[in-house]
Chain A
């Protein structure tokens, strides 16, 4: 083994630095590991290498041509220069070609100052574009409720296409036409709302320019804030772990208190915590699961917190919808409670309340428009949108003091906090289910087997003498595999958690990029820290939740609870 390791190391020189790599590494991999950033658009460590943008070209001594570092394997002894004059000149030409076919409306672009094309143009000092001629002119596609496409800003790096097709297996978008007229589009040039798009927004995250952006609801919220309505915000579990990044704070800084203060400063009358609804969601889901598990009916049961996953299931696996938990997502639970329980409590007409959901997710914009939830939530702002709103309102986020969520919908447990990362919902559900099945207050509540960033995690847990096989997946490509298994009747699991986005909600389509393993791990850590610092770490022990059941809903899984906290699914056609 020792010998093999020694043999399998490859030595090379990059920018006068002696470095090492292993067989199969590409030049860009080794360079990045050694802190050398090579400009690139199409390369992404989670996606197939396509060598399309040619921006990552480098000079290798002795080779006549410049080569693309993203798809050239390292070799012993090669001498690489990533920023030689020749390389820079070629990169400049490449950038000029891209910019010659770009609308260059930077100052009015949503991605202004966060655009990679802009960044490289600045770095390479592109001040004059030598080429002019025809430009792509297409009307932006505003048809989707979640995602806006503007092909005039597209540089065809295919990140969106690959994430949609290869990782999510949704196949909503692809390349069409040839040559200069090549473009990203849903099949047959249809609008996004007619495609199979599940609104997960992973394409938005992947897009290095302003070609794919979330459909903005900021103006609607500003108008609402200036109306005479009663303004309520709810914030999803993952927002507190990511919002700080938008204000230059280190990745993985929890900002719960500042976030609440900021929303108050923005003009919200009440700021509630979606985490409370997450606890209620677990109470309902665990009740449902135990019932199904005992009756051995409709197993495996699948979690339904993720609206992108729900649409995916409704489109592609409509015969298996009975496997889905009937429980609403935490967002929809809290929305329902605010417009019923809370409205009654403060004696307000629900119509006079405007509820703004702060979500990690572009698919939530679609979820609130589902007919089942009509009249509940009014707007969804993503993390990125909230940051933009706060900046617009001149809220100096980093200097804000901490505040607490408002009551009675502001108290939560550690179990709810971890909803934001992959495996969290399952872990929270297991904490409650294990207690209930065993009839004890169990001390061992950390289910570390399902906490990693692997896209497919399974565990067998013994609860009250019975073995429960659980599985946690994130990304819809993995979900598809599980669903195929279920369709064939071969699923070995009892309980499955599915999240559409890589990493779970901390990697949602509305979260600030980049969504690489390192960033996502830090965000996960932030949520686990929140959980571990909590006194109450099991959903069914949430005092506020218990109170709501007592005051309003009745027993766990009661008829009223079903009416307000559960939903149903149906086959969805697409294209």
Chain B
């Protein structure tokens, strides 16, 4: 019998650690694995007994004893059972797990387990080829940068391969978007896949030094990677004459960042690695010419690197069969927000957003309606339901004013106000602006202030144009990708949800009831005059005689919502 439990950051935060201890204390053969991607079912425990597999979800310290009891009896714990095979689940049916193939199934730090699943066959295949042929394979695979911009990886590698002398490879693991954690998952759950990918890149480009840049807020990812790097060095998978290939030397190490969103931008990241303030530099010169310490440098995202090992394992042309005409392969997406099944999802490029939201994610929670999906994190854009049949692809998303970004997808339902959503993300980007260029530093601040005014119903319709003009100015004039994409959330909500802006300014209402300042609480005829609301009101703005309908003094009301919550008769109406 074998029992595994997902102990990546997501599992741990859902309470997997005490569950692991409990299983261990019960003398059960429990092993740690990474994250399988079913956030909605974490902590996830898998029991494999005589070829029978039982996957249990939401196993917590409160119900683990039930599970232990069942296991000891040799029974299946129906109460907690999720499935016997993950592929039975709707969540996985439309997925194609290439990068994520090992995640949640193997012990991340067990090299043997990684190799059992054909791990390092990619590197072995690569080493049989000339470096140029490896780049050719990547070209055939059609791999494009998974960090957001979708630049063809083979071309980028080609630039570096042509350079002589000292050069660097950088793996960008500075995942900073709220609601995005695919890089963390790969680093925590399958570190060898990442290391293998970078090593293949080193061979193809003739580079002897590489750096994995990740944020210090990912302690488990760093710990796992550090251990994995040591194992790789010990097994001649890094270091000198790798896998016996004479003259193939590659040194790979981790550099921690202090957690600035802008350090995901490659030139800012290079500054940060050099020990300088993480601020972008104008390009040209591109890193391929003058990068880290002034030397030619290639930066690829964790997502991109993880695909490399897979491509070299399954073959470039096999990989190229997946995806669309322009965009090959799969994309790992973090599905979060107002959706039933949150988690990490790997789908072929070209999968319709509708399938991701409904087939995989199960749609929005009961009783609510889908409103939009925000693709690309805080610098991304909102895509409304009319465009749900859009296939996942760099170009199609861009045409809608969104971006693929690193793959964060936040589902928004009718409980959210789109102006407030724009405000939220503008707040994030303006705080994370490095402060270097005027449009981003000053522009995002003013945009935020204007959006706050809209959420308060201050101003008139003409202010909408002012917002749009400034957003366009920031988009067109900012120095780096952060600033250029920062207004996306404003521009896309203005494009698809302009009526909500108008509603705030003209009618002074928020249709979602999310903007506190525009809310109105009224007491309806359901009121029995119990006086509970009046007793709880912190500003004493509710009055009325006992057993008679009470009233709220709108002038004094601070819209805290206490009355709404304490009323046992649902007599208070929020509009």
Contact = CB atoms under 8 A, between A and B. Distances in A.
Do A and B belong to a common assembly? yes
A177 B435 contact: yes
Contacts of B442: 97-98, 100-101, 131, 180
Contact of B437 (A51, A175, A177): A51
Contact of B430 (A50, A57, A156, A179): A179
B477 interface: yes
Contacts of B441: 156, 179-180, 182
B438 A53 contact: yes
A468 B313 CA distance: 68
Contacts, number: 102
A180 B445 CA distance: 6
A133 B277 CA distance: 28
Given A65-B476, A100-B446, A133-B446, A178 B434 contact: yes
Contacts of A50: 281-282, 436
Nearest to A68: B282
B84 to A, nearest CB: 50
A90 interface: yes
Residue of B284, B445, B449, B470 with most partner-chain A CB within 10 A? B445
B433 interface: yes
A174 B277 contact: yes
B439 interface: yes
B445 A178 contact: no
Contact of A178 (B433, B437, B439): B433
Nearest to A158: B436
Interface in B432-476: 432-439, 441-446, 449, 466, 469-470, 473, 476
A188 to B, nearest CB: 14
B427 to A, nearest CB: 10
Contacts of A177: 435
Nearest to B480: A51
Given A90-B473, A100-B442, A133-B449, A179 B432 contact: yes
B353 interface: no
Contact of B435 (A66, A71, A175): A175
Interface string A61-78: 000011010110100000
B515 interface: no
Nearest to A49: B282
Contacts of B170: none
A433 to B, nearest CB: 41
A182 B440 CA distance: 12
A179 B284 contact: no
A52 B436 contact: yes
Contact of A179 (B277, B445, B473, B476): B445
Contact of B476 (A90, A100, A130, A181): A90
A315 interface: no
Contacts of B479: 51-52, 54, 68
Interface in A92-119: 93-94, 97-98, 100-101
Residue of B277, B435, B444 with most partner-chain A CB within 10 A? B435
Interface residues of B, number: 31
B431 A178 contact: yes
Contacts of B279: 175
B434 A93 contact: no
A94 B284 contact: no
A550 B466 CA distance: 79
Contacts of B469: 93
A134 interface: yes
A98 B476 contact: no
* Size bracket of the A interface: 35 or more
Given A50-B281, A52-B479, A97 B443 contact: yes
Given A50-B281, A156-B441, A179-B431, A66 B436 contact: no
B475 to A, nearest CB: 9
Given A54-B477, A65-B476, A182-B441, A97 B435 contact: no
B478 interface: yes
B222 interface: no
Interface in A40-58: 49-55, 57
B260 interface: yes
Nearest to A70: B282
Main secondary structure of the interface of A (DSSP, over half): loop
A472 B384 CA distance: 67
Contacts of A51: 281-282, 437, 479
Contacts of B433: 178-180, 182
Contacts of B444: 179-180
Contact of B477 (A90, A98, A155): A90
B478 A54 contact: yes
Contacts of B281: 50-51
Given A50-B282, A131-B470, A133-B445, A181 B435 contact: yes
Interface in A148-204: 155-156, 158, 174-175, 177-182
A175 B438 contact: no
A53 B439 CA distance: 8
A177 B282 CA distance: 21
Interface in B234-287: 260, 277, 279, 281-282, 284
A38 to B, nearest CB: 15
Nearest to A48: B281
B425 to A, nearest CB: 14
B439 A54 contact: yes
A174 B432 CA distance: 18
A174 B434 CA distance: 13
A382 to B, nearest CB: 30
Contacts of B438: 52-55, 94, 97-98, 155-156
Contacts of B431: 178-179
A572 B279 CA distance: 32
B491 to A, nearest CB: 15
A182 B473 CA distance: 21
B234 to A, nearest CB: 39
Interface in B57-97: none
Contacts of B432: 178-179
Interface string B473-515: 1001111000000000000000000000000000000000000
Contacts of A174: 277
B435 A179 contact: yes
Contacts of A73: 284
Nearest to A175: B277
A121 B510 CA distance: 39
Nearest to B277: A175
A175 B469 CA distance: 29
A65 to B, nearest CB: 5
A43 B430 CA distance: 24
Residue of A57, A71, A178 with most partner-chain B CB within 10 A? A178
B470 A93 contact: yes
B377 to A, nearest CB: 17
A182 B435 contact: yes
Contacts of A181: 435
Nearest to A86: B476
A572 to B, nearest CB: 25
A462 B435 CA distance: 54
A13 to B, nearest CB: 21
Contacts of A52: 436-438, 479
A180 B473 contact: no
Nearest to B433: A179
A57 B477 CA distance: 8
Interface of A: 49-55, 57, 65-66, 68, 70-71, 73, 90, 93-94, 97-98, 100-101, 130-131, 133-134, 155-156, 158, 174-175, 177-182
Given A158-B436, A175-B435, 18 more contacts: A50-B281, A51-B479, A52-B437, A52-B438, A52-B479, A53-B438, A68-B479, A71-B284, A73-B284, A90-B477, A97-B442, A100-B446, A133-B445, A134-B445, A177-B435, A178-B432, A178-B434, A179-B445
9 contacts: A50-B436, A65-B476, A93-B470, A101-B445, A131-B442, A131-B446, A177-B435, A180-B435, A182-B435
The 10 closest A-B pairs by CB, nearest first: A182-B435, A51-B282, A71-B282, A97-B442, A133-B449, A179-B433, A180-B445, A131-B446, A93-B473, A52-B436
